[in-house]
Amino acid sequence: MDSAAPLAGSLAIVRTVAELRARVRIWRAGGERVGLVPTMGALHDGHLSLVARAQEDCDRVVVTLFVNPKQFGPNEDFARYPRDESADAAKLGAAGADLLYAPDVAMMYGDGFATTVTVVGLTDGMEGAVRPGHFAGVATVVAKLLNQAGADDAYFGEKDYQQLAVIRRLADDLDIATRIHGVPTVREADGLALSSRNAYLTNDQRKIAPALQRGLAAAAAALAGGAAVQSTLDAACAAILKAGFDAVDYVELRDAYTLASLSTLTRPARLLAAARLGKTRLLDNLAVDPR
Amino acid sequence: MDSAAPLAGSLAIVRTVAELRARVRIWRAGGERVGLVPTMGALHDGHLSLVARAQEDCDRVVVTLFVNPKQFGPNEDFARYPRDESADAAKLGAAGADLLYAPDVAMMYGDGFATTVTVVGLTDGMEGAVRPGHFAGVATVVAKLLNQAGADDAYFGEKDYQQLAVIRRLADDLDIATRIHGVPTVREADGLALSSRNAYLTNDQRKIAPALQRGLAAAAAALAGGAAVQSTLDAACAAILKAGFDAVDYVELRDAYTLASLSTLTRPARLLAAARLGKTRLLDNLAVDPR
């Protein structure tokens, strides 16, 4: 049928759209529900929680591994982004995933590639401001991956909350039939959100890193208790810096769904932050609900 | 199953994505191949040739009718674009189409719609220069319609040749599984390419209109005979104006596939032109092959 080679137990790896579709077609023809977990590899327990959630909903789970050059800026970490396909495949095999789709750049962006998917509004500010072009790269590759797989459901982490909102929007706007699900962030015991970029942290930075989550949690508690928004965000920013972060890119309160900026807590909201430890940017976010 | 009402013989009309997908799902589950013919209505024999071609390839043919506001500029003819759904439905019923999908603007662009599909390169010059934003509107709505229907095949006229190239590109780039087919232009006896916009022409303008095709045909013959490109294009432009057109927006020779500008005829090419009769813009194009 195709050239997929078994590896790490029963996990097969395919590298072409044709092979991916052939697998999914067979499963769907047999009445099986197929879930998709797009990743850039460097898999950790956060990714595996997406796989586990997909397994709850679906009969088959496809994980994609593609470090997408279009979502990295010229001065970002595309070249040094951690890559270890064998280790990733072993983790996915152990987790019981059914297929790893790992295309190369030429498969994703062939000769003459000329199309970009952009989402306005949701991409204003926060990561969109710090990383120009980032969300166009994300939206384009996610539209492709969703169309390539034709899965019933797809799973993304709440860890990248603005990204999740952008993906929900583009899938809805472009009528991609796959349902988009957000999955809660997985954290270390000290509260640090799992991220492939945590691997960049020195031991000293690693000790400082949980201060980002602590700052957000304190701000969320204050806001839920009725504190004023701007002074609370300013205090969170100061606390994160005081704990040892080198810079805070933003701490913002946004509508949980539209990501509209909020100056008062009148509806379900999200606190989102990004801060820098040396050259490493860490992101985190928490839900905040009005009383 | 759905609220589709039969009309014009056996032709059903649906207005929601859910109804459209339910119909297509049933057909595909039964092993039937489904063809899609996207239109803006005001159907003429050119559209019906798309339906006929789809019927050759497919078991079921779905025609879409949506006058897409996003592909009209602020000073263009969106408001006065000809609309007659009953007449269109009657023609499609007589032609044996299986389903008319006629969504309204709210179905296509709901609250919070924020996504745009853009294609670079192919959209440079010609219609892209004369109509800023036009191809982003086309690419976005076509991506949506293709994803909404999930058809096996989709059919577009060569009459809008640059548009066809843009659609091929975006469908390939976004991995939309539907195959894109171009269908040759249908012409009146005097050579005028069928177009919904021909309805805008006065009797006098209608007599002048075939000069666009005659100018292109003469240029194609000259180029195929070895004539120099720029002087041939200039002569075609002059001939079209002399015949009574009020302005020529462009007459260009482009690579038949990439639409790269050609200064010599060294590979399969396309002559493309747009010219104005009063407020009406007419488009046409012809193949030109090197000797």
The three-state (H, E, C) secondary structure of chain B, written as one string: CCCCEEECCCEEEECCHHHHHHHHHHHHHCCCCEEEEEECCCCCHHHHHHHHHHHHHCCEEEEEECCCHHHCCCCCCCCCCCCCHHHHHHHHHHHCCCEEECCCHHHHCCCCCCEEEEECCCCCCCHHHHCCCHHHHHHHHHHHHHHHHCCCEEEEECCCHHHHHHHHHHHHHCCCCCEEEEECCCECCCCCECCHHHHHCCHHHHHHCCHHHHHHHHHHHHHHCCCCHHHHHHHHHHHHHHCCCCEEEEEEEEECCCCCECCCCCCCEEEEEEEEECCEEEEEEEEECCC
Q: Name every chain B residue with its beta carbon within 8 A of the beta carbon of A143.
A: 174
Per-residue pLDDT 10s for chain A (291 aa) are: 444 444 445 699 999 999 999 999 999 989 999 999 999 999 999 999 999 999 999 999 999 999 999 999 988 889 989 999 999 999 999 999 999 999 999 999 999 999 999 999 999 999 999 999 999 999 999 999 999 999 999 999 999 999 999 999 999 999 999 999 999 999 999 999 999 999 999 999 999 999 999 999 999 999 999 999 999 999 999 999 999 999 999 999 999 999 999 999 999 999 999 999 999 999 999 999 887
CA-based nearest distance B65→chain A, Å: 17
Distance, in Å, from the CA atom of A179 to the CA atom of B180, rounded to the nearest integer, reads 25
The rounded distance, in Å, linking the Cα atoms of B266 and B243 is 30
**pLDDT bracket for residue B290 (50, 70, 90):** confident
- pLDDT for position A203: 97
- Confidence at residue A8, expressed as pLDDT on a 0 to 100 scale: 44
pLDDT digits 0-9 by tens, B81-104: 999 999 999 999 999 999 999 999
Fold held by B196-286: Pantoate--beta-alanine Ligase; Chain: A,domain 2 (3.30.1300)
Tokens, residue B242: 């002399």
The CA distance from B68 to B140, in Å, is: 10
Mean pLDDT of chain B: 95
Contact B117 A116 (CB under 8 A): yes
pLDDT at B9 over 80: no
Query: Which band of pLDDT confidence, cut at 50, 70 and 90, is reported for residue B235?
Result: very high
**Where in the sequence of chain A do the CATH 3.30.1300.10 domains occur?**
196-288
A17, A119, A169 ranked by CB distance to B175: nearest? A17
At the top level of CATH, the class of A196-288 is: alpha beta
Architecture of the domain whose range is B5-183: 3-Layer(aba) Sandwich (3.40)
% of residues, chain B, pLDDT over 90: 92
Q: Which of A115, A122, A146 to mutate to test the interface with B (most CBs of B within 10 A)?
A: A115
CB-based contact (8 Å) between B117 and chain A? yes
Q: How far is B271 from chain A (nearest CA, A)?
A: 21
DSSP A76: S
Outline which parts of chain B fall under CATH 3.40.50.620. Answer: 5-183
3-class DSSP state of A100: strand
Mean of the pLDDT values across residues B227-250?
Answer: 98
Pairing of strands B280-288, A11-14: unpaired
> Token digits for A283?
């992101």
Helices B134-149 & B17-29 angle (0-180, nearest 10)? 50
Give me the residue from B139, B147, B177 closest to A175, CB to CB: B147
Q: What is the pLDDT of residue A193?
A: 98
Please confirm, yes or no, whether A47 is among the known catalytic residues.
yes
How many A×B Cβ pairs under 8 Å? 76
